[in-house]
A and B are shown apart, each in its own frame.
Chain A
């Protein structure tokens, strides 16, 4: 009996030992960090992931909406009252308010991705030109995210290396954020090509884009002299042979003429009809488009979460083309009762007349530039219409502004005239010759409004011109709530303040 027991115990313990399992189970779905960052493919994929951030909803939807509604050209009449208040009402429902936070989060998602490239790609053995280009892209993109953070929040935590859960950086003041943006853009200018040899790279950021963003960065700080260098490159230097205005203004907003000669920096979108999420890390089957058109399209089609203040429409009517016609930019910019000059019974809104949809009395107006009404009668969350971030027309007007600011108003005229001429307006040098510096700037404000309305530049313009304040509440009643010294910046998310005591809230919040 004892023998039997012994055998059975032996057998049992053998059984136990033999089935001692392997507890190192490989994840078959994803590679570990350790095995990545080995070659040029890894480096390129790392950079691609930064671009992927543009289709995330914080970037592709909310950031442009915040820019247009927060400025005096738009507002939100959303039935989602928190949104209506936050977007242009200057009533912050909550320091962690979702749509605003989405922008903050996605900027930092992009920064984290860029930082991983900047940390890891230098150590990869690969073609040096390609490496410099890829790093240039990463520097540009990191700078672009910080540019927007500096514009919207001003004083923000600065993450310049791959994030660790324990990172508790202090607040970096806006001036220092700008300095970092300048530094990154200078590196980007060095590393990036003026044009890509291979058409498959169409849509990647270029030296021209870096120059333009660098100029914007300088201008926002009032460094007009410094801004001249990058603008020279674009307008009178190498860029002059790369960029030009499109003959037809509206072509800048159609899906059929994306990445055209006027495009300096453009977010690339396409339709993924099978997508199941906006979150680009959940599955490869995510949204490659933008939902901005669904959120900005008029009621009955979209959510109408951002719509236009109608005072700007009057600005378009102040001047006619040399042919005695209405400025063609008006109908390219807005869907409203008179998008068709003949009135609401002729203005088509997604297959029905304005009158059919909203009656004869309705005087609301909707931003049109990034909608898809030029090719279909519906919207959705998957708009393929590229978002044009920087157009050459913007660059020309920036150049004019810099020249004017640095005392060369006369030289500035030509660049404004070039933008006006494209839409058939008489040269400013004829209609308003010899303006002084201040008057010219005032005129430039008008020019920029008409050329760039609804494209998200107006907020930066108002900041730069020092025009924020309740004095513009006659155009946009939201500014009645604007408190100087407070509303220039959004409040830093409470959650990040709660977690990181080294951060401080923005003034006034």
Chain B
């Protein structure tokens, strides 16, 4: 459809300007002809016909006819139209020809942005994934990362879930303990594509995965590069396109917790089991009228709205695009929402040899949340016998009487409704991101470009704490307001020279240049205690508060990167491809001796299908590729290489208790910090079958990270504070296979295509540096990263069911006959004494599962018939283990509500996996049952999810066309409708707790179900 539009638009243009292409009059042989669209059988206007090897040419008229004077009756005509297969027709004496043009379903001629240059897809030598916005724009996503889930092999996405929260994007596995985020390049500006970016502005997304593709970004590219090109205006009359989408969001079902009666009964059982008197709240004072369902109280039906208006157009020498957009997401948790308004202006003008333009976006986004607490823990944990609000809770510190734990109904869970009423945190990011460029066409094939990019973010965070209490035994604290404002600025200056030349069968395109970027953040904050309120309304400025002031100001970030870059792409006869890239970077974040480094790469390709000997009716295209290169990544702060005096300590002296400044070196520094380096190999092939109806790409990669920064867990006896000094000491290898295949059938009225991709990542720690004799691992909470094993594997105690009798406990002994769990009682969890020392302790921990999937897949199916179209996206993630932190708290049974389906062990109920229930104080058996570091809480995280389902209808009616309304589409879609998983938590798509506890579900915000309707049209 896009191609049809192009076709008619181009024809329109030709009508307007008849002298579009000069018809050369010097004649020796006149050729006439007709061009037909093979699919429709209709005449094809606007097709370009050129005599090969000359500049003589013309285009077909409204009836698909043309006339051209050529130099000889033996000349060859080149017939082309964008999106159709180019044909070369030898005249062999003919003066009349008829040619059928066939639609080009292959994307081999698609232009791919590879950083400072573009190449045709068929000439790619590195591992580059191109993701069409026709796929990403299907889903409702707050950020680009989220919209990419499942669409590109080698790219792992874990959703953040909360309104305005970004997704965790990892390309080809995690190869750093500190930073696994790719580099984003937006229209040539290196800037983060976080949720402040409107995904509707994006025209194309290219993901540079291997060292060759990413090498031009050298010292920042080791985690891969995502290049985003925003939409541009096209030549033609002004076009307005409008889209609107509205969807409702639904929290996936939470844990099924007990109601008041069930809870009271279970808690009585619990206390009776321990020989204790049950609290009066579940006994004599039990109030059947109080039955709080905390999920109901803390959640709501969310929604997402997305509106875009774009005005674009242009002439031969200039084009423009202005788009305005508004996105709003009301989160499924009360008090959480995100709003973003954006205005984009992209223009480009050519005058003579000079082209200049800019891509600029202004965005303002606001995130609201209580700013503290995690209701995904509190909602299941809080007791149903405590009301949300009640007069009996009213005290001076809790004037609104928010319900909370008491000495009689002990829970330390937070009341999410109270948290939201009392606390607020509002984040406002006003940003300008963009670049301006100047191209000078110096001479044939040589272009100089000056590119200046900027990202300015005016950030304003405002936190308020009003009067009230939201949990039991809450420490007193004054009401307060804190506001901080910071300016983030990043300026990029680049000079590049591009050279493109074809001589004979040789084709060279090269770029050299210099790039420099300065990034800084400047923070100023102020606050005051003791808010004033009148009639329940709070004054919300710093000065309106009456208590003690706070002021703070610092520059946490300030660094400069400077680098020389160069790349040459050489192809011979479209068969042999060679790319050589180098970048020499210097970075102020390292000491003078470690500041600069060269990052080289090389890649080659062989398009065997272009060889004369290659003759296959089945295989229409076949290219082999191989690359090797070295990349870097900075994982340090601006001044980590220097030791500083910390002047924050305070000593209190004197009768008036004054705070006197103290100064000390708090943090030990390592002056020898440097880049993390990554050397990676990539081999792959791209193949097309059946005239490229079926395309398959496969890659094998093997990338070794060295000098990986380890926050060396230095001994506590060093007295170090403020973060452990980092050392470039570790090494991590990632290997894997990526496969992507697409089959397209577009010749019939029923058009469809199906794509699938899969990724394997085998992650291994190769070295952890010198952590002491015999230490070949890094321990992080309950995970361990050990040499020869994946990063952050679960390292916990193994359980083996429940003890069924005292006899079994007494007989559970090590080889020396020691009773292993002397504190246990029947119904307690049995742990394995791995080291056979007769007791269960940390020495018995062992590796139980990895948080990294063994297989990640995505599949998309598109179909269209007449005016209907259909899209379906699936993702499947397999083979990883999650730690269900929320279930651990619930199933610890202490001061919490209980799951409605528990069946605790008792002498009368032995056929169960739930251990006995009781009060754990003074009962080590129960305490052991709830141990965090146990495989009891590990679960298979594999899942298959119907990511998106969309049905659209295109009103291509003549009535609308008479009003110049075209391309009008309405659609309904459902996102995350189905998930197949054994995981018992809310969502197996867990972002986790940093890189080293990636699968730790610590109340992860689950992906919502979204039901949307939308409409779009153009005029």
Interfacial residues, chain A to chain B (CB-CB below 8 A): 1, 4-5, 8-9, 12, 15-16, 19-25, 27-33, 36, 42, 44-53, 55, 77-79, 81-82, 84-85, 89, 91, 93-95, 101, 104-105, 108-113, 116, 156-157, 159, 162-165, 167-169, 199-204, 259, 268-270, 272-274, 276, 279-286, 288, 291, 294, 299-304, 357-358, 377-382, 384, 493-496, 498-501
B495-511: which residues lie under 8 A (CB-CB) from chain A? Answer: 495, 497
Q: Which residues of A contact B564 (CB under 8 A)?
A: 16
CB <8 Å contact, B927 and A85: yes
Q: Which residues of A contact B659 (CB under 8 A)?
A: 270, 272, 288
13 residue pairs of the A-B complex, CB under 8 angstroms, read A4-B443, A25-B559, A46-B664, A49-B649, A51-B653, A81-B930, A95-B842, A109-B719, A110-B719, A203-B653, A268-B653, A499-B715, A499-B771
3 closest Cβ pairs, A-B complex: A112-B719, A49-B662, A52-B649
Complex Cα distance, B589 from A24, in Å, reads 9
Within 8 Å by CB of B475, from A33, A167, A274, A381, lies A381
Count residues of B near A (Cβ-Cβ below 8 Å): 105
* B714 located at the interface, meaning its Cβ lies under 8 Å from any Cβ of chain A in the complex: yes
CB <8 Å contact, A274 and B407: no
Quick one: closest A residue to B530, CB to CB? A273
CB <8 Å contact, A203 and B448: no
Cβ contacts B636-666/A at 8 Å (1 or 0 each): 0011001111111111111101111111111
If A273-B529, A501-B772 touch, whether A51 touches B644 (CB-CB below 8 Å) is no
CB <8 Å contact, B719 and A108: yes
Which of the candidate stretches B77-85, B476-484, B855-863, B866-874 sits at the interface with the other chain? B476-484
Quick one: closest A residue to B554, CB to CB? A29
CB <8 Å contact, B638 and A112: no
Q: Which residues of A contact B62 (CB under 8 A)?
A: none
Quick one: closest A residue to B553, CB to CB? A29
B751-771: which residues lie under 8 A (CB-CB) from chain A? Answer: 771
Residue from the set A24, A274, A377 with the largest chain B CB neighbour count within 10 Å: A274
* B73 located at the interface, meaning its Cβ lies under 8 Å from any Cβ of chain A in the complex: no
Q: State how many angstroms separate the Cβ of B208 from the closest Cβ of chain A.
A: 24
6 other A-B residue contacts (CB within 8 Å) besides A21-B518, A273-B529, A379-B476? A23-B588, A45-B661, A48-B662, A82-B927, A199-B654, A285-B550
Q: Which residues of B contact A204 (CB under 8 A)?
A: 653
CB <8 Å contact, A495 and B715: yes
CB <8 Å contact, A273 and B547: yes
If A85-B924, A112-B718, A201-B653 touch, whether A48 touches B661 (CB-CB below 8 Å) is yes
B645-690: which residues lie under 8 A (CB-CB) from chain A? Answer: 645-655, 657-668, 670
Q: Which residues of B contact A377 (CB under 8 A)?
A: 396
Which of the candidate stretches B576-584, B692-700, B720-728, B829-837 sits at the interface with the other chain? B720-728
CB <8 Å contact, A299 and B516: no
Complex Cα distance, B716 from A496, in Å, reads 6
Complex Cα distance, B558 from A288, in Å, reads 31
CB <8 Å contact, B717 and A21: no
Q: State how many angstroms separate the Cβ of B459 from the closest Cβ of chain A.
A: 18
* B555 located at the interface, meaning its Cβ lies under 8 Å from any Cβ of chain A in the complex: yes
CB <8 Å contact, A52 and B662: yes
If A159-B717, A200-B654, A500-B772 touch, whether A284 touches B668 (CB-CB below 8 Å) is no
Q: Which residues of A contact B588 (CB under 8 A)?
A: 21, 23-25
Q: Which residues of B contact A53 (CB under 8 A)?
A: 649
CB <8 Å contact, B655 and A202: yes
* B773 located at the interface, meaning its Cβ lies under 8 Å from any Cβ of chain A in the complex: yes
* B269 located at the interface, meaning its Cβ lies under 8 Å from any Cβ of chain A in the complex: no
CB <8 Å contact, A22 and B560: yes
Q: Which residues of A contact B654 (CB under 8 A)?
A: 199-203
Complex Cα distance, B665 from A506, in Å, reads 30
Quick one: closest B residue to A200, CB to CB? B654
CB <8 Å contact, A380 and B476: yes
Q: Which residues of A contact B450 (CB under 8 A)?
A: 15
* B440 located at the interface, meaning its Cβ lies under 8 Å from any Cβ of chain A in the complex: yes
Quick one: closest A residue to B644, CB to CB? A30
Complex Cα distance, B514 from A298, in Å, reads 66
CB <8 Å contact, A165 and B653: no
Q: Which residues of A contact B556 (CB under 8 A)?
A: 29
Within 8 Å by CB of A294, from B440, B475, B639, B894, lies B475
If A51-B662, A203-B653 touch, whether A25 touches B558 (CB-CB below 8 Å) is yes
Interfacial residues, chain B to chain A (CB-CB below 8 A): 396-397, 406-407, 410, 412, 440, 442-443, 446, 448, 450, 472-473, 475-478, 480, 482, 493, 495, 497, 514, 516, 518, 527-529, 547-550, 552, 554-556, 558-560, 562, 564, 586-588, 592, 595, 638-639, 642-655, 657-668, 670, 712-722, 725, 727, 771-775, 779, 842, 894-895, 920-922, 924, 926-927, 930
Q: Which residues of A contact B665 (CB under 8 A)?
A: 33, 112, 116, 162
Complex Cα distance, B666 from A30, in Å, reads 11
CB <8 Å contact, B716 and A105: yes
Could you tell me the dominant secondary structure of chain A's interface residues?
Answer: loop
Within 8 Å by CB of A288, from B552, B650, B712, lies B650
If A5-B443, A48-B650 touch, whether A111 touches B529 (CB-CB below 8 Å) is no
Quick one: closest A residue to B478, CB to CB? A273
Q: Which residues of B contact A291 (CB under 8 A)?
A: 475
Within 8 Å by CB of B644, from A12, A32, A168, lies A32
Quick one: closest B residue to A106, CB to CB? B719
Quick one: closest A residue to B397, CB to CB? A378
Q: Which residues of B contact A163 (CB under 8 A)?
A: 668, 718-720
If A165-B670, A200-B658, A282-B722 touch, whether A498 touches B775 (CB-CB below 8 Å) is yes
Residue from the set A45, A78, A272, A276 with the largest chain B CB neighbour count within 10 Å: A45
Complex Cα distance, B657 from A46, in Å, reads 19
Quick one: closest A residue to B560, CB to CB? A21
Q: State how many angstroms separate the Cβ of B658 from the closest Cβ of chain A.
A: 7
CB <8 Å contact, B655 and A48: no
Quick one: closest B residue to A202, CB to CB? B654
CB <8 Å contact, A12 and B548: no
Complex Cα distance, B476 from A49, in Å, reads 27
Q: Which residues of A contact B670 (CB under 8 A)?
A: 165
Q: State how many angstroms separate the Cβ of A166 from the closest Cβ of chain B.
A: 9
Complex Cα distance, B773 from A89, in Å, reads 34
CB <8 Å contact, B921 and A84: yes
CB <8 Å contact, B443 and A1: yes
CB <8 Å contact, B648 and A283: yes
CB <8 Å contact, B717 and A16: no
CB <8 Å contact, B648 and A274: no
CB <8 Å contact, B651 and A32: no
CB <8 Å contact, A81 and B927: yes
CB <8 Å contact, A27 and B713: no
Q: Which residues of B contact A294 (CB under 8 A)?
A: 473, 475
Q: Which residues of B contact A199 (CB under 8 A)?
A: 654-655
Q: Which residues of B contact A110 (CB under 8 A)?
A: 719
CB <8 Å contact, A112 and B476: no
Q: Which residues of B contact A501 (CB under 8 A)?
A: 772-774
CB <8 Å contact, A27 and B476: no
Complex Cα distance, B924 from A82, in Å, reads 9
Q: State how many angstroms separate the Cβ of A265 from the closest Cβ of chain B.
A: 14
Q: State how many angstroms separate the Cβ of B46 from the closest Cβ of chain A.
A: 35
Complex Cα distance, B560 from A21, in Å, reads 7
Q: State how many angstroms separate the Cβ of B858 from the closest Cβ of chain A.
A: 41
CB <8 Å contact, A269 and B652: yes
Q: State how many angstroms separate the Cβ of A434 from the closest Cβ of chain B.
A: 44
Within 8 Å by CB of A45, from B647, B668, B842, lies B647
If A25-B560, A112-B718, A274-B549 touch, whether A94 touches B842 (CB-CB below 8 Å) is yes
If A23-B588, A24-B592 touch, whether A79 touches B647 (CB-CB below 8 Å) is no
Quick one: closest A residue to B496, CB to CB? A12
CB <8 Å contact, B719 and A159: yes
Within 8 Å by CB of A300, from B407, B412, B514, lies B407
Q: State how many angstroms separate the Cβ of A222 from the closest Cβ of chain B.
A: 27
Q: State how many angstroms separate the Cβ of A357 from the closest Cβ of chain B.
A: 7
Complex Cα distance, B931 from A82, in Å, reads 9
Quick one: closest B residue to A297, CB to CB? B473
Q: Which residues of B contact A82 (CB under 8 A)?
A: 927
Residue from the set B397, B657, B926 with the largest chain A CB neighbour count within 10 Å: B657
